[in-house]
Amino acid sequence: MNAALPVLSSAVPAYQSRSYDFAEYTTCRNWRGGALVDAVSGHTLPVENPRHGKVMGHVVLSGQADVEAAVHAAKLALPGWKGTPMRERAQVMFRLKALLERDMDELCWLLSAENGKTYAEAKGDIDKGIECIEFAIALPQMATGGGIDVSRGVHCEVTNEPLGIVAGIVPFNFPIMVPLWMLPNALVAGNAFILKPSEVVPYGALRLGQLLKEAGLPDGIYQTINGGRDAVEAVVDHPAIAAIGFVGSTKVAKLVYARASALGKRALCLGGAKNHVIVVPDADLELTAQTAVASSFGCAGQRCMASSLMVAVGDVQHIIDAMVGYAKNMQLGKDMGCVISQAARERINAYIDQAEKLGAKVIVDGRGASLPGADGYWVGPTILDNVSPDMPAGCDEIFGPVLSIIHAKTLDEAIAIENASPYGNGAAIFTTRGYVARYAVERLEAGMIGVNIGVPVPREPFSFGGFHDSKFGHGDITGMDGFRFWSRPKKITSKWALQSDSSWMS
Ligand code: NAD
């Protein structure tokens, strides 16, 4: 390890606040070799609490030397971890689950402070991450490989080997869940994992380090490299890092995928989304209106599975009217959090202004929203009617609480609109008729489809991943695909008895 970087502490302080009130927190240093260290650059970036628009702490900015030191620590720890039976590795995940449950309240307030989501949304973030841990706990039962006698006396078997040192790069919107899409599978598979958290929300990943250590994970097997683009490039380029999992915007997903692939690395890079929800006249009024509103505006629309575009087929005005009622009733700060930054608020408002200028009707207007006592980055629920597919609000990912409505005469027209989108993360159909649902499910071009479900995230054991510009690389990021991504099958053919009728294998 770099001698110039003394270990500062092996304890991450607990976040003390238990409310939405503003509170400062520690400097987010790198978690290396089971301890906190500064970055070599000595530079830091402010971390804002977006609800209050105030700096709650700082995060270190890492580069190549920090990655080198983390790889060194990982190399020291890896043989012991790789040699630990999978069953024992899974026990660490058992304990991590219990520790996350123990510290749930603290972690929810911490995630809420760094991300701006509500307490309930933060709890959802961690709960969904725990489901991924539960899946990985079951890996010793599921990832058993297999074997048969392929000829007399000749046995063929397959085992799953870890890749070695692997890395994940994650976005701001789910500070614990997205790292847990990758970590549990990668660790139970026997790898050492380096995480590059979002520099905007670095604290959840730091607390994970402390909890994993408490759960018994050997030092050096989970580490963080904080920072932005320099840190990402240093992680992707390091020759000892064998595989890269990425989740973030399509622009960066493409860049990271190209960079990692050019180096011959295994890469799976999940990108952005524009999820279409098709509503037909027979859709259930209450279910559709409530679900669509929750999907579009929950987490302030900052979910890659948020429904950001509704295709209204025929006359569904009664449903739109009900949605307007529900959206207007949402209480900022209670039912819905803020957006991540001033830049995000400006970008989202600019999309609304532009759509209005281009002829869309703003039937619920979230511009200018504010919350007394919390002077942060608020945008209220916004519904834009009469959007056309070629307007930026009809095709770009806005990543905020904005639902664009496009009208279509027929279901085929609606499906064609969805199919023309370059994204393909999620799509949903709201109908009370099975054959309509089936017709749409078969034709929608998205990796995750909802039928009367607004956020069709596959729950474990089913795996998460979209199509087209929402995912670069093969397979999905969670479930068994996730395990396969972080491991490689080794085929062993053995013959122990010498026989006179031996086959071509002899
Ligand atoms: P982002 O792409 O800006 O950042 C993601 C990660 O990439 C961060 O760790 C960041 O530090 C790094 N990064 C940013 N710019 C980079 C560059 N030029 N070169 C190298 N690395 C860079 O995304 P975000 O704003 O943090 O998150 C929001 C985006 O993530 C949305 O587009 C959303 O749809 C997407 N997302 C997708 C999924 C999915 O499963 N498909 C899930 C969550 C979020």
Cα angle value 280/284/289 (rounded, 5°): 85
> Tokens standing for 39?
């970055």
- Using a 6 Å cutoff on CB, does residue 229 contact ligand 1? yes
Q: Which of 5-9, 254-258, 401-405 has the lowest mean pLDDT?
A: 5-9
| Surface-to-core class of residue 504, CB atoms within 10 Å of its CB (0-12 exposed, 13-18 middle, 19+ buried) | exposed
| Of residues 92, 86, 112, 96, the one with CA closest to residue 22 | 112
- Using a 6 Å cutoff on CB, does residue 110 contact ligand 1? no
Instruction: Look up residue 448 and give its amino acid.
Output: M
pLDDT of 40 strictly over 80: yes
CA distance 213 to 159: 28
Take atom 19 of ligand 1 and give the residue whose Cα is closest.
229
Give the model's pLDDT for residue 2. Answer: 44
Name the β-bridge partners of 168.
195, 245
Count of C-beta atoms within a 10 Å radius of residue 372: 7
pLDDT of 502 strictly over 70: no
pTM: 0.96
pLDDT of 500 strictly over 90: no
Q: What spatial distance separates the first Cα and last Cα of the chain, rounded to whole Å? A: 49
> Tokens standing for 199?
């520099």
Give the model's pLDDT for residue 153. Answer: 85
Which domains does the chain carry?
25-271+470-490 (3.40.605.10), 276-451 (3.40.309.10)
Instruction: Look up residue 1 and give its amino acid.
Output: M
pLDDT of 224 strictly over 50: yes
Q: Please give the distance, rounded to the nearest whole angstrom, from the Cα atom of residue 79 to the centre of ligand 1.
A: 32
Q: Please give the distance, rounded to the nearest whole angstrom, from the Cα atom of residue 125 to the centre of ligand 1.
A: 17
Q: Please give the distance, rounded to the nearest whole angstrom, from the Cα atom of residue 271 to the centre of ligand 1.
A: 7
pLDDT of 448 strictly over 70: yes
Tokens 């701006």 sit on residue: 116
Give the pLDDT mean for 407-424.
98
* Residue-wise pLDDT tens digits, 199-211: 999 999 999 999 9
Which atom of ligand 1 is nearest the CA belonging to 470? 41
Average pLDDT, the chain: 96
